Amino acid sequence: MPTPDDTTAGAPDVLPGADAYGPVQRRLLVSAVRCFAANGFHGTTTRDIAGGAGLSPAALYVHFPSKELALYEIVRLGHRHAYDILVAARADGPSGPGERLAALVDAYTRFHAQWHVLARVCQYDLGALRPEHYEEVLRTRHETNEIFRVAVAAGVDDGTFDPGLDVRRVARALISLAIDLVRWYRPDGPETPEQLGAFTAQLALRLVARPGGR
Amino acid sequence: MPTPDDTTAGAPDVLPGADAYGPVQRRLLVSAVRCFAANGFHGTTTRDIAGGAGLSPAALYVHFPSKELALYEIVRLGHRHAYDILVAARADGPSGPGERLAALVDAYTRFHAQWHVLARVCQYDLGALRPEHYEEVLRTRHETNEIFRVAVAAGVDDGTFDPGLDVRRVARALISLAIDLVRWYRPDGPETPEQLGAFTAQLALRLVARPGGR
DNA sequence: GTCTATAGAAGGATAGAC
DNA sequence: GTCTATCCTTCTATAGAC
């Protein structure tokens, strides 16, 4: 669906929901995401960002009041998109706690693989946000994590999962499995996002399974 | 064992094996680890590092030829220490594949929690290393990961673990569980490194268990 | 080995022409 | 909205006194 042509009009492969921006803003955000992912916020200059979008250094400030606000826009977009994907996965079709949890882990893992450039920025550069922006992002993260905790708790409560599970810790582990891949995932590797999602979902079901059950 | 007194002589709580350095180098490295962990390599100035050690900006260059080499020293120390801990855990006592894998995951998790400030730098700031230093660190990481792959394979081969396991992917998942905690672990939280290690080791055994077995 | 002082380069952000 | 030019700050690293 997305074309790699980010010079003209295509929605680039590092920015979901890029349609919400004008073409120049979009090019700047795409350039910023790539720069931040490669060198971190503090390792990226405003000249890098503008240059990557084919603009002069000053042009950045026509579209964003500061480098930090460009980062905030990116991080907000990424977190919002991840949240939306989980909500959609949760609503998808009627199913029991196992299927539902597997769908969530699958979707969350696929998200981090498919948008790994953006996801990397969302995980590694949070500390560069100003305190008020950081707090706002943390709120979204909390809601996202809560989806997993509720999904694990549902299976524990109705007896589908191991009743002895520590819900918060298990949910945290599932989130770790999905997120940590931004540290090592490369799109030219042997695994597709779909394969990674399916495998991680399998692991999730192993983690919550009843001891003797199958 | 370590005292929080890093002004005079104590081995500080962010630098294992600090005895290998002189007192001033040690103070500089401790300051650098804390700064890098808090703000990243590019977000840290040489003044921050020197100031944190109670020295003038120029003093850093008496002990390290550049900021990057101070980072390299830190990252090398952290990776070496993690590797040593795994080798020690692997050698500890006679046991089957399950006990051995649990011991590895336990030790690796405890390491990342106990030395979370250092571990954070080792995970987040690798990209700031010069290429030749980065390559060297990658070699150590490969050896570390190999320990987990061998431990998983041993249990698969002798039938203790699920024979259908994908060894590389499962080992990678176990490593993810241990490493990802540097992203969220805080020492003032409700869990001790020991509790985290024990819990993650439990999860590891669930991941490798035979489908029907207990 | 530590300091003060500073060189020399690069960074974030702005001014003003077009 | 984009450009060139530049302000002013901050940065890494060095010079030279003590």
pLDDT in tens, A29-72: 999 999 999 999 999 999 999 999 999 999 999 999 999 999 99
Above 80 in pLDDT, residue A26? yes
Above 60 in pLDDT, residue B6? no
Q: Give the pLDDT confidence score for residue A184 in this predicted structure.
A: 98
The per-residue b/e assignment along A191-202, b for 16 or more CB within 10 angstroms, e otherwise, is: bebeebbbbbbb
Q: Give the pLDDT confidence score for residue B187 in this predicted structure.
A: 97
Which nucleotide's C1' sits nearest to the alpha carbon of B53? C2
Give the mean model confidence (pLDDT) for residues B69-85.
98
Which nucleotide's C1' sits nearest to the alpha carbon of B48? D11
Q: How near does any CA of chain A get to the CA of B205, in Å?
A: 9
At B129, is the secondary structure helix, strand, or coil? coil
Flag the least confident range among A209-213, B60-64, B141-145, B198-202: A209-213
Above 80 in pLDDT, residue B26? yes
**Residue in this structure with the two tokens 């890093």, named with its chain if needed:** B6
Q: Give the pLDDT confidence score for residue B5 in this predicted structure.
A: 40
CB contact under 8 A, A200 and B173: yes
Tally of CB atoms within 10 A around A73: 18
Tally of CB atoms within 10 A around B153: 17
Total H helices, total E strands in chain B: 10, 0
Nucleotides of D under 7 A from a protein CB: 1-6, 10-16
Give the mean model confidence (pLDDT) for residues A4-20.
69
Give the mean model confidence (pLDDT) for residues A22-26.
97
Q: Give the pLDDT confidence score for residue B189 in this predicted structure.
A: 96
Identify the DSSP state of B127: G
* Distance, CA of B33 to CA of B46 (rounded, Å): 12
Nucleotides of C under 7 A from a protein CB: 1-6, 10-16
Flag the least confident range among A101-115, B90-104, B124-138: B90-104
Give the mean model confidence (pLDDT) for residues A86-102.
94
Give the mean model confidence (pLDDT) for residues A6-35.
85
Q: Which pTM does this prediction carry?
A: 0.95
Above 80 in pLDDT, residue B9? no
CA trace torsion A147, A150, A156, A157 (10° rounding): -150
Above 60 in pLDDT, residue B122? yes
- Looking at every residue in chain B, the average pLDDT score rounds to 94
Q: Give the pLDDT confidence score for residue A68 in this predicted structure.
A: 98
Q: Give the pLDDT confidence score for residue B93 in this predicted structure.
A: 79
What domains are defined for chain A?
A: 18-64 (1.10.10.60), 72-208 (1.10.357.10)
Q: How near does any CA of chain B get to the CA of A80, in Å?
A: 20
Q: Which residues of B touch A123 (CB under 8 A)?
A: 183
CB contact under 8 A, A180 and B179: yes
Instruction: Name the more confident of B179 and B13.
Output: B179
Long-range contacts of A15-24 (CB under 8 A, 24+ apart): A15/A77, A15/A118, A16/A77, A16/A78, A16/A81, A16/A115, A16/A118, A17/A77, A17/A80, A17/A81, A24/A53, A24/A55, A24/A59, A24/A63
Q: Give the pLDDT confidence score for residue A60 in this predicted structure.
A: 98
Percent residues over pLDDT 70 in chain B: 94
Angle at B52 between CA B50 and CA B55, to 5 degrees: 40
CB contact under 8 A, B207 and A206: yes
Q: How confident is the model at residue A113 (pLDDT cuts 50, 70, 90)?
A: very high
Q: Give the pLDDT confidence score for residue A87 in this predicted structure.
A: 98
CB contact under 8 A, A181 and B176: yes
- Nearest partner of A202 among B164, B154, B214, judged by Cα: B164
Q: Which residues of B touch A211 (CB under 8 A)?
A: 214
Q: How confident is the model at residue A6 (pLDDT cuts 50, 70, 90)?
A: very low
